[in-house]
Structure 1
């Protein structure tokens, strides 16, 4: 089990803010424990008066990446996300704890799986996708990425290049009319070329409920659907 419950120091190596909504943060973590695809870190900010605020962020990087990559969505009135978007610069240091999450919502090629992510819920699935590509197991992971538009979907171009099925709900993509994934589209990925043994779902509470229902309609056993859900997103 790749887990560390101790607080550590991370130095910011890169910060990329492609728009006002997402920030890609790459960290050099001291005494780093290698993560499993699907795990997360907690980032803690500390004010001069010792007031602290913290938030969990999924890991996007492959375990072999020397840096830990997080994709941070700006949340309304978010203390941590606001700081990371507006203040953070390379060379800054952060308090972090991780990787966390145990092995329940992780994938390292041990099963044939379908992974469904909504909005920023795609981030831990990107880690799985990168791991699959590096280890030659891309045929064992089928990814469904759902977003409002390509501009709002994290890692959209990387997902398309890797062959992920992308469903946009507010704009057409090629010949596909804007809509959430249809049961038959999900069923094709669950069934072919061999039946998926497990499913992963990550996104908002509403999205997780929708994706779980559609996977069930597509033939996935509920006991094999593993869900990570969060408050605002997707």
Structure 2
């Protein structure tokens, strides 16, 4: 198990009104697999400590550690990380952690990524690794958000759509001209997708449970489906 490492914040990027990506410099970072996460520890001046887990968005072939943080109203840690931790300040990071919700280009199988809201973060690491690989296996990202202004990595996803299939599913407000009306994911959203794909689903608990049930009904076997949830 990896111990705690000092991590210095080098960049903060606004993704949505409450979502941020934070890039850290971590000396002697051992590397990680797409889909893994880290624990982040903050220590107050009086010695009080708080630890939270955050997914890695950075691909494996880099010494960057990029985390996605969704500020939670009334939260103890996420609002501070999202908006108040000064650039140049340090936190402690332990990881990488997790070995089941991972994918690498060596897994030569069709890939189906399904994200809800900030659940895009670990799937973004997979998508970036897939785009950097020479694989020609089919890859589809279904990204469910309430409205267009809640999309993370919007410009990067637009560019990725030239190589892999990216579909945005809006649940409350679809943009003008959208062929799909706003609403929750349905069986129709899973049509014309490879039945042999390995499926990675990440998002709030309700979203993950709903999506998992749809995948099983669509004929995907339980061992094809890997999930990670929060909230």
Same fold, TM exceeding 0.5? yes
Query: How far apart are the structure 2 equivalents of 1:209 and 1:128?
Result: 21
Does the alignment pair 1:94 with 2:78?
no
Aligned to 1:170: 172
Structure 2 stretches lacking a partner, 5+ long: none
Q: Which whole-Å deviations, capped at 9, do the CAs of 1:92-131 have from their partners, x for residues lacking one?
A: 11101111112x1001130322111111111100100000
Shift of 1:29: 1.0
Selected match of 1:185 from 183, 189, 192: 189
Query: How far apart are the structure 2 equivalents of 1:200 and 1:209?
Result: 13
Question: SS state of the match for residue 191, structure 2?
Answer: helix
Query: How far apart are the structure 1 equivalents of 2:30 and 2:87?
Result: 22
Question: SS state of the match for residue 151, structure 1?
Answer: helix
Query: How far apart are the structure 2 equivalents of 1:46 and 1:137?
Result: 43
Contact 2:15–2:153 under 8 Å retained in 1: no
Contact 1:150–1:156 under 8 Å retained in 2: no
Aligned to 1:48: 45
Aligned to 2:214: 214
Shift of 1:67: 1.1
Taking a change above 3 Å as real, the CA distance of residues 141 and 63 of structure 1, as seen in their structure-2 partners, is same
Taking a change above 3 Å as real, the CA distance of residues 139 and 181 of structure 1, as seen in their structure-2 partners, is farther
Taking a change above 3 Å as real, the CA distance of residues 202 and 19 of structure 1, as seen in their structure-2 partners, is closer
Contact 1:14–1:25 under 8 Å retained in 2: yes
Shift of 1:81: 0.8
Shift of 1:19: 4.7
Aligned to 1:33: 30
Shift of 1:178: 0.9
Contact 2:17–2:150 under 8 Å retained in 1: no
Query: How far apart are the structure 1 equivalents of 2:74 and 2:56?
Result: 23
Aligned to 2:102: 106
Aligned to 2:228: 228
Aligned pairs for 1:65-80 within 5 A: 65-80=62-77
Query: How far apart are the structure 2 equivalents of 1:138 and 1:29?
Result: 33
Q: How many corresponding residue pairs?
A: 223
Contact 2:16–2:150 under 8 Å retained in 1: no
Contact 2:15–2:152 under 8 Å retained in 1: no
